[in-house]
Structure formats: structure tokens, C-alpha cells
């Protein structure tokens, strides 16, 4: 029965998130277009100045903290752990809502991460630690050092946090705080420029809203009762 519920939850989470994105496709498209214009005309040219303002990489101890945040915030070590933990809590409490929310959160995270990967492979932006120009765009690249734009860690962190922030704020607030810390850490550790994490965050937020908003509506219906 448990595995059957999991399969159903994953299927319904895809229907919810993809359905939301289809219904609001013009708003999503406009958001992504405006984000792209911001990156091209504001973000990319000003990245070095923002990096200097943040003092990225200057303090070795702080950079080590930033590195550890990035290391523990990978998909397998953070996002999946959060999703599985939420699903198990739902199972223990016999809460089908929490189990469905866990599946939706997983789907939002996957959509955010997949979209980032689809972008950064053909763009090929050099990461800051390569010491190449901030305007280095090499086109399709398999090397991770040219997968700077956008930030996958930041995108998946927000893709996980936003559905929780919308549906269960008591869990979503610390998750969102961690996502913000991830964005800072990736810049300070010289893995990404500010524009990379900003665009990554926007992608994660869009994917998170797509999953979280339908779950909030469901929660309200459940609270009203039959």
C-alpha cells in the first residue's frame, strides 16, 4: 500500500506542477524573459563589482564555511533528505497531505534542477574560480567549470524551500533561510557570480510556486471540510 501511495503521489505531483505551469505559461514565459534581459544587460556586466562588494573569497575561514554549505546542499545530501524526511513524517502521522507535499516538493526540485542544467550546458559560462573573464561564454561544454550560469545548487535549494514555505511555513521558513545561505555561499566560495545565483533562485521560486500553490489550495479545502 505504501509503495502504491508513493507512485500515486509522484504521478499526481507531476500533474499538479506541470498543470500549473501550463495554465500560467505566459506569466512564466514573461518572468523568464525578464530574468534573461536582467542577466544580459544588468547582471553579467556588473558581476565583478558585486563580487568585490560581497568580498567573496577574501576570508579563508568564511570561505570554508561557504564551501561546507555548498557541499552539504547537493541534491542527494540535502534536497532528497528533506523530501524523504517529510514523506516519512507524513507516513508516521498518517497524513496523506504531508506525503503528497513531499512528492510535490521533490517534483519542484527536479524541475528546477533540470531546467538549470538545460541552460548551463549550452551557455558554458566560466565559474569565477577559473579566473577567466566574467563574460566568458564558451557554448556547449561538458566541463563543470563552464557550468556557471545559472546556479543549480541555488535553484534546487529554492525549488525545495518554496513549496514548503507556501504550504507549511513552519518548515518552509528555515528551508528558505538555508536556500538564501546557499546563494550567498556559492558566490563567496567563487563557484558562481551573483547573477548566476539570482537567476537560479528565480527558476527555483517559479518551480516551487508551481508545486506549492496547488498544495496550499488543497490544504485550505481540507481545513474547510466537506
Strand-pairing partners, residue 137, are 125
The pLDDT of residue 4: 64
Mean pLDDT of 90-96: 90
- pLDDT of residue 150 exceeding 90, the answer is yes
Distance in angstroms (rounded) separating the CA atoms of residues 115 and 94? 33
Residues 6+ positions from 209 with CB-CB distance below 8 Å: 20, 162, 166
pLDDT at 1 exceeding the cut of 80: no
Segment 185-206 shows an average pLDDT of 97
Percent of the chain with pLDDT over 90: 81
Question: Has residue 12 got a pLDDT over 90?
Answer: no
Q: What is the C-alpha separation between 9 and 5, in angstroms, rounded?
A: 6
| pLDDT, tens digit, 9 for 90 and up, residues 40-53 | 999 999 999 999 99
Instruction: State whether residue 148 is helix, strand or coil.
Output: coil
Q: Are 103 and 86 in contact (CB under 8 A)?
A: no
pLDDT at res. 226 = 56
* Residues 127/191, Cβ–Cβ less than 8 Å: yes
pTM value is 0.94
Instruction: State the Rg of the chain over Cα.
Output: 18
pLDDT at 215 (0 to 100): 92
pLDDT of residue 128: 96
Kindly report the length of the chain: 226
Sign of CA dihedral 104, 108, 111, 114: negative
How confident is the prediction for the chain on average, in pLDDT? 92
Per-domain boundaries in the chain: 2-224
Kindly report the backbone phi and psi dihedral angles of residue 137, in degrees, each rounded to the nearest multiple of 5, phi listed first.
Answer: -125, 105
Amino acid at each position: 500500500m505504501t509503495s502504491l501511495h508513493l507512485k500515486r503521489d509522484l504521478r499526481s505531483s507531476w500533474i499538479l506542477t506541470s498543470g500549473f505551469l501550463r495554465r500560467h505559461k505566459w506569466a512564466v514565459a514573461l518572468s523568464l524573459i525578464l530574468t534573461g534581459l536582467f542577466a544580459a544587460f544588468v547582471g553579467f556586466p556588473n558581476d565583478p563589482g558585486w563580487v568585490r562588494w560581497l568580498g567573496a573569497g577574501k576570508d579563508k575561514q568564511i570561505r570554508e564555511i561557504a564551501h561546507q554549505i555548498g557541499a552539504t546542499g547537493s541534491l542527494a545530501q540535502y534536497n532528497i533528505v528533506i523530501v524523504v524526511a517529510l514523506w516519512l513524517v507524513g507516513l508516521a502521522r498518517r497524513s496523506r497531505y504531508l506525503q503528497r507535499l513531499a512528492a510535490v516538493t521533490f517534483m519542484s526540485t527536479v524541475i528546477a534542477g533540470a531546467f538549470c542544467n538545460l541552460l548551463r550546458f549550452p551557455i558554458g559560462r566560466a565559474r569565477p574560480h577559473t579566473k577567466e573573464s566574467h563574460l566568458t561564454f564558451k557554448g556547449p561544454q561538458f566541463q563543470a567549470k563552464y557550468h556557471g550560469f545559472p546556479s543549480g545548487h541555488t535553484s534546487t535549494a529554492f525549488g525545495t524551500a518554496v513549496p514548503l514555505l507556501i504550504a507549511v511555513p513552519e518548515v518552509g521558513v528555515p528551508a528558505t533561510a538555508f536556500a538564501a545561505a546557499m546563494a550567498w555561499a556559492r558566490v563567496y566560495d567563487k563557484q558562481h557570480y551573483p547573477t548566476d545565483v539570482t537567476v537560479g533562485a528565480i527558476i527555483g521560486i517559479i518551480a516551487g510556486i508551481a508545486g506549492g500553490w496547488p498544495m496550499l489550495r488543497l490544504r485550505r479545502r481540507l481545513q474547510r471540510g466537506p
